[in-house]
């Protein structure tokens, strides 16, 4: 019955005239007719069938994607779970890129550049705080020195986090002291006395806060891991600034900020 219908369809089609190569059309129709009469359709269908559950799933996904494309329909809410096979396959490719996968948004080079800028800033902060922790003198310097030393340790921890993230992104942390100050946001100022030191550290912390806040905005949703790490560092820089502000008030005897 199906074969008879197909034959009827083919012979009707052969009478249609139009633009193009008539010989080629006739040959094509002859071949189709021959195929309909002689081919083992069931065997061909069996050969084209998916060979395992994975192929069956991929076929279904391809059909769904084709239908979505044809109708302009939006992907279903849990499309990412349906795409699991594709995610698994891609994860096996480009293994040399480590944590960096294909859906990383934004520029990796720019991310590494910004993080290296922060690396230089943190190194300068470590050096400045360490110097102040040793060089601070005066009647009431003991507690301040401890605060400087504590901040030096925390700036070093920031440095470690930044270097680790640069490494995860496939970059190289720039630890070369040559050109360090030019790469950093903060400055290295020794200060003439205890109050000078505290003030310089407050200024450096405020610079760091401004830089990290901009970086957090830049990374946004493009690189949530880096953003969350920077948010943690930013919060600690704000604590540092607050500590330095309180010390400055205590040693200068007047409030710096209008409440």
Residues forming the site for Fe ion (CB under 5 A)? 122, 155, 158, 205, 237, 240
In angstroms, the CA 149 to CA 132 distance is 8
Please say which residue, 148 or 171, places its beta carbon nearer to Fe ion: 148
Please say which residue, 33 or 208, places its beta carbon nearer to Fe ion: 208
DSSP-derived letter for residue 95 is G
Q: How far is the CB of 255 from Fe ion (least distance, A)?
A: 22
Q: How far is the CB of 205 from Fe ion (least distance, A)?
A: 5
Please say which residue, 108 or 180, places its beta carbon nearer to Fe ion: 180
Q: How far is the CB of 85 from Fe ion (least distance, A)?
A: 43
* Residue where the block lists tokens 């009478």: 15
Please say which residue, 141 or 201, places its beta carbon nearer to Fe ion: 201
Which helix (H) or strand (E) segment holds residue 44: the answer is: helix 41-48
Cα-based angle 221, 226, 231 (whole degrees, multiple of 5): 90
In angstroms, the CA 233 to CA 235 distance is 5
Please say which residue, 155 or 200, places its beta carbon nearer to Fe ion: 155
DSSP 165-228: HHHHTT------STTHHHH-SS-----SSHHHHHHHHHHHHHHHHHHHHHHHHHHTTT-HHHHH
Q: How far is the CB of 173 from Fe ion (least distance, A)?
A: 15
Tokens at 185, concatenated:
């946001």
Q: How far is the CB of 125 from Fe ion (least distance, A)?
A: 5
Q: Residue 234, SS3?
A: helix
Please say which residue, 165 or 240, places its beta carbon nearer to Fe ion: 240
Tokens at 44, concatenated:
């061909």
Q: How far is the CB of 158 from Fe ion (least distance, A)?
A: 4
In angstroms, the CA 239 to CA 244 distance is 9
């Amino acid at each position: 019955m199906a074969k008879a219908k197909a034959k009827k369809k083919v012979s009707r089609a052969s009478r249609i005239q139009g633009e193009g190569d008539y010989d080629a059309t006739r040959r094509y129709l002859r071949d189709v007719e021959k195929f309909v009469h002689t081919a083992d359709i069931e065997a061909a269908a069996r050969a084209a069938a998916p060979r395992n559950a994975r192929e069956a799933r991929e076929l279904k996904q391809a059909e769904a994607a084709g239908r979505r494309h044809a109708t302009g329909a939006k992907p279903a809410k849990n499309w990412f779970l349906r795409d699991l096979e594709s995610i698994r396959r891609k994860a096996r490719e480009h293994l040399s890129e480590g944590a960096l996968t294909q859906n990383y948004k934004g520029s990796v080079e720019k991310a590494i550049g910004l993080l290296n800028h922060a690396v230089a800033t943190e190194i300068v902060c470590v050096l400045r705080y360490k110097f102040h922790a040793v060089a601070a003198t005066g009647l009431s310097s003991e507690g301040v020195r401890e605060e400087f030393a504590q901040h030096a340790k925390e700036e070093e921890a920031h440095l470690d986090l930044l270097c680790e993230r640069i490494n995860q992104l496939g970059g190289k942390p720039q630890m070369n002291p040559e050109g360090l100050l030019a790469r950093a946001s903060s400055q290295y100022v020794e200060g003439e006395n205890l109050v000078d030191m505290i003030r310089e550290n407050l200024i450096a912390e405020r610079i760091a806060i401004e830089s990290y806040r901009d970086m957090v905005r830049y990374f946004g949703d493009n690189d949530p891991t880096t953003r969350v790490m920077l948010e943690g560092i930013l919060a600690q820089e704000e604590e540092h600034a607050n500590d330095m502000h309180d010390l400055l008030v205590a040693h200068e005897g007047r409030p710096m900020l209008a409440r």
